[in-house]
Structure 1
Amino acid sequence: MDKYRLPSVDFDSPLVELSFELERFRGNLGLGTTRPQLIIELHSLFQILSSVISARIEGNRTTVYDAIRGPSGDDEQQSEAQREINNLLAAMRLIDELPPEAPLTHSLVREFHRMTVDGLTREGDPTPGSYRVVDVEILNSAHTPPSHVYVHSEMSDFLEFANRPLPAHQQMIHVAIAHHRFLWIHPFRNGNGRVSRLVTYFMIRRNGFVSPVGLRTVNPTAVFGNDRDEYYASLEAADDLSNSGTVLWCTFFARGVHDDLERLTKLQDAEYLSREVLAPTIQRMRESGILNTAESKALQIVFDQGVVKAGDLEDAFPGGPSARSVAIRAMVERGLLQRADAGPRFYTASLHNPVIGPFLVRRFNELGFLPPMLQNDKLE
């Protein structure tokens, strides 16, 4: 049986309809009015969400709010749960830095694994960055992965498939099959789920789901956070490599990516982002005592303009230049503003910092942007 043959699908299958819809979304990426700086900041925030989801699937209970805040300053050492999330963030940054056309290789997959399990005990691996040299079983699964003797050759076949050029309308199915077949091989003793989601992120990025600034706000890991049980059940349905099981898995995957893109492409609309997300976030921060009236106005100006000079904040801080500099410095020290690349006297806002980020995530939750897996996290 050719495990890498694309499944046969009836024309009226939901998978066909989803494939067409995904192509429409891909064509619309980058056509919005949201400033590139905000796209970059949103990308950074959603990468944190994705790392929490990937770790949560494996049992990590760190909340998204704790992940944004990071370990407190008096922590003698980073907790293993937080380190697992930071490892995933580092691997995602590596992927973002790679050319989109870069091929997937043995060494790259092994590096994903090394980074993922680095410094971990409970969720670590005795041989980081190396394929397994023992046979394994998957807990609560009827599937038995191939013997370790065949792992390298199985992975060679997998990489040939993962790097295979396919027409645009088949690419999401291509990514879905690759995700399952990687887990079917189970090339590492531990960390396979986390690495498979990184591989999926790598492939979907390479397949053109990128913004003009080279970054995406969507990460397919969010798909797997919608329903952990359904995720595993859909994967298991494809373990026999049958056409029907593969179609079921691909449909689950494509529907999740479709729903996520449908929500997230709204963020390309600057008016929607300002009205439904940023303005309510500022209002809630003011009500919580995080911002005073002047700071609220200043932050709104920065959100509207993207990058500002001190003089652009005169309406918020109407005193002289000296008083304005003091107020801006205070906002920078609290993490409300950060210095922009344009120069030392230019400022922008960070959406994923420990001050603004938790309030922004809370607003996204109210709008239905978070997968169910994260919806019970509490903002203290």
Structure 2
Amino acid sequence: MFADWSNIKCVCLDVDSTVCEDEGLDEIASFLGVTDKVKKITEEAMNGELDITKALEARLSIMNLNLKKLTDFLDNHPVRLTPGVENLVNQFKENGVDVYLVSGGLYPLVNRVAKLLNIPEENVYANKLIFNNEDWSNIKCVCLDVDSTVCEDEGLDEIASFLGVTDKVKKITEEAMNGELDITKALEARLSIMNLNLKKLTDFLDNHPVRLTPGVENLVNQFKENGVDVYLVSGGLYPLVNRVAKLLNIPEENVYANKLIFNNEGTFVGLDHSAPTSRSDGKALIVNELLNKLHTPVMMIGDGMTDANACPPASVFIGFGVNVIRPKVKTISDYFCTSVEELINLLKNHKMLL
């Protein structure tokens, strides 16, 4: 007679040699040409013959791993799921079972598996690496979020306040920025509540000056002085974001944001869904496009989950907590700054700024 497990509503899955066919660290070692030494330590650790912490540190030491090597591996080594695992995970979800990935492997490797299986980032437990004084001098492109990052406020919330519908819109903004609500649905819901048209938008722009985060203009200028291309990548509205770009002397072709479609009478008829920023994974798509176009590593800086989820393909993500601190973003950020001065010092320490 079988035991009844119907009350079990949480499952923790190992990743290396379970969810995936291979051992992540062994694959990195193979990629770097140091397979034998690393694989021997892996076997001893998996068989309980060697302390896990010592085994991990020993393997990382042998590989002499740095951020560039790790990024190169991720770019060139696709995930190899164990056949049938995707179906297993989907069946767990269909039966109301929360799925967690709990791994002794490296967070960047495990998190991309989670993305592939649509497992929330907060359900991922793995080892995070700290790269001290990593040289970022080869990063020549930075993508900056705009709302609550380059600017002090959230553009759509400010329009809502201007139109007298603050509370409903602000609640949706928070859910979207915390990764609790699909970006496209959140944007459409807020535009619907505001009943936005071209006249209302123009009135807002005429009466609401840009409020840059103090220090951001200096930051952008320092990027330019150091030969770093600056892009504004926002889930906000193009007319709002483009005027910020003009203020900071950022070319219009370096602006990615959501475009609205109005008919001849100025009535809002829909979003331009060809804009990647209308999608939850839009910022990651833009970063990937820039990687292929510019042939340089890309850095992402922002306050929200869509910014965090753009790394990878971004080589580095820096959480921006100057105007608002989002706990989920802070938790998953390798770097998190609560002042522009702190951010500039971080960039100087890593040789991106002189």
TM-score scaled to structure 2, two decimals? 0.31
Structure number with greater CO (CA < 8 Å, separation at least 6) is: 1
**Structure with greater helix share of residues:** 1
**Structure with greater strand share of residues:** 2
TM-score scaled to structure 1, two decimals? 0.29
